[in-house]
Amino acid sequence: MTNSEIVDLLELTGRLMELHNHDAFRTRAFQTAAFNLDKSTADLSQLSADDLVKLPGVGKAVANKIREIVDTGHLTELDDLLAQTPSGVLDMFRIKGLGVKKIRTLWHELGIDNLRDLQLAGENGQIATIKGFGQNTQEKILAALEFLQEQKGKVRMDKAAMIANLLHDELAQYFDRVEISGQVRRKAQEVDRVQLLLQTSDPISAMLTLAGRPNLVQHEVESSPFVWRGQLEGFDVRVELLLVPAEQMDRELFIQTAAEPHLQQVGAGGASLLQAAYTSTDVSEPAIYQRAGLPYIVPEMREDDFAFRWASRHRNDELVTWDDLQGTLHNHSTWSDGKQSVADMAAYCRQLGLTYFGIADHSKTATYANGLDIERVQQQQVEIDQLNAGYGSDFRIFKGIESDILGDGSLDYDEATLATFDYVVASVHQTLTMSLDKAMTRLLRAIENPYTTILGHPTGRLILAREGYPIDHRAIIDACAEHNVIIELNASPYRLDMDWRWIDYAMEQGVMISINPDAHDLVGLLDMHYGVAIARKGGLTKSMTFNALTLNQMDSYFRQRRARIDKK
């Protein structure tokens, strides 16, 4: 049992206890424990009940429940609660903005116990008539239901990669060659089909081998003699396993990786890429592009014709890579809602070969994330100075902050405090439901603030969970160009925000992109791998990647920016 699995079970128990009106004190005990343990770096599975009660927010009763989870793999009390709760009511927890009390009201007052009935109740106006709901809440619920329906059967790129790698490692025991292809190889940010190619000269035996794998659930009607279709047990996303002879593996890997609009591109020879793939005697990927009379395109960019327009101005070796990253600038520590100290985060950055670490903990308005008031800002900066004094000239911690963009577009510190930071990441975290005009007014004012260095996760979206607020990307990029503001590509697979489709326009306007992990623990720093993948999909070059600047270049950038502010 991992910490996150334990916390998820405690959190769900607390929610269901509240849903069923259980004792408020015991309910809060579970909720408080889940909230506090989510930040813990201790290995909960290795702690005794006596050790668990020493952790913040954990009482004796909850400590025993954690041991039950670890020792048995489940929680009897949660099992009983789940047995009393229709699965459709559990689905309602996925609707953003719909809390436990409202779900209980919908269930008990309208008898709604599934998403279909919830949608019908919204469409006929019933929800708006309930006390405490109203027309606005009804519209939000309907919009959330529509969004969930559109995302059904999809997973984020990190989970898709995990599933693909699990399948690869298992199936490589039975097949001479196994290749991950399709959307996963193309680094799609949302995946509705995890696809692998299995080399075999005997499809019948291959199908029998797959049938013998207990974690593979076949959809027989959708399958064919050469394609196994189904799911990996425990995951909703579709799995597709293609059975391919050895001599066709390279050709199929190319064809299955590229999206259809990319394959239909016609080159100088008058043939499409797809035609070239089938007629080329050399089926290596570079040879296929050459036969079509088109420049070679890296797998991440094989979406449509954009890659060829990009290739007319750039070379593939200009694309940013993990090795190009010199540091990281949007990270959190135990000063706000992170799990590790500034010192530990910085030390891990050094292990990764990075030369600078930027701390950007939450600002004072973010009380839910233990945001820093002015006094704590000063205390943190003293700590950073002390840590920097112990480093040589090859590493440094930069003092940053993730300052909330308030409703009127202002940042939530006075100028004197903002001036103490090396840089400021300005982000929207609250009041996310906005019209286009409201969102643009808010963001543009923040961009115009001379202390805004980086615009954080520009749309506030959460992949497969929450649509971003509407923005005019072109106007935002133009404003960042005018005010010398960097745009963040938030590398967390939960966000991947900015959208990769706007990277090229940003580069054209001279706006640099910072690949920021928004890391709250050591492992989170590795999310920059996802950021690099999406950056490459959008054509981001090393020269336009902000955190590809060296330590000295970054230090000079911050100093020059400060000098320009001081002159105003």
pLDDT value at residue 123: 87
| Interacting residues of 120 by C-beta distance below 8 A, sequence separation 6+ | none
Q: Are 242 and 256 in contact (CB under 8 A)?
A: yes
pLDDT value at residue 169: 96
pLDDT value at residue 234: 86
Q: What is the number of H-type helices and E-type strands within the chain? A: 25, 14
pLDDT value at residue 151: 78
pTM for the predicted model, two decimal places: 0.87
CATH 3.40.50.720 fits 155-317, yes or no: no
Distances (CA, A) of 39 to 13, 55, 334, 370: 18, 11, 8, 12
- The ranges of the chain with pLDDT < 70 are none
Instruction: Looking at the structure, give the CATH architecture of the domain made up of residues 327-567.
Output: Alpha-Beta Barrel (3.20)
pLDDT value at residue 466: 85
pLDDT value at residue 44: 93
CA distance 494 to 510: 27
CA distance 552 to 216: 52
pLDDT value at residue 331: 97
pLDDT value at residue 38: 86
Give domain limits for the chain: 3-151, 155-317, 327-567
> For the domain bounded by 3-151, which CATH number is listed?
1.10.150.110
CA distance 266 to 275: 9
Distances (CA, A) of 221 to 116, 129, 183, 202, 408: 26, 45, 23, 21, 56
Place of tokens 């059975």: 243
Beginning with the edge strand found earlier in the chain, give each strand of the sheet holding 178-181 in spatial order: 178-181, 193-199, 238-244, 227-232, 216-218
CA distance 434 to 443: 11
Largest interatomic CA distance in the chain: 76
Q: Are 233 and 255 in contact (CB under 8 A)?
A: no
pLDDT value at residue 381: 98
For residue 438, report the phi and psi dihedrals to the nearest 5 degrees: -65, -45
CA distance 243 to 225: 9
pLDDT value at residue 139: 87
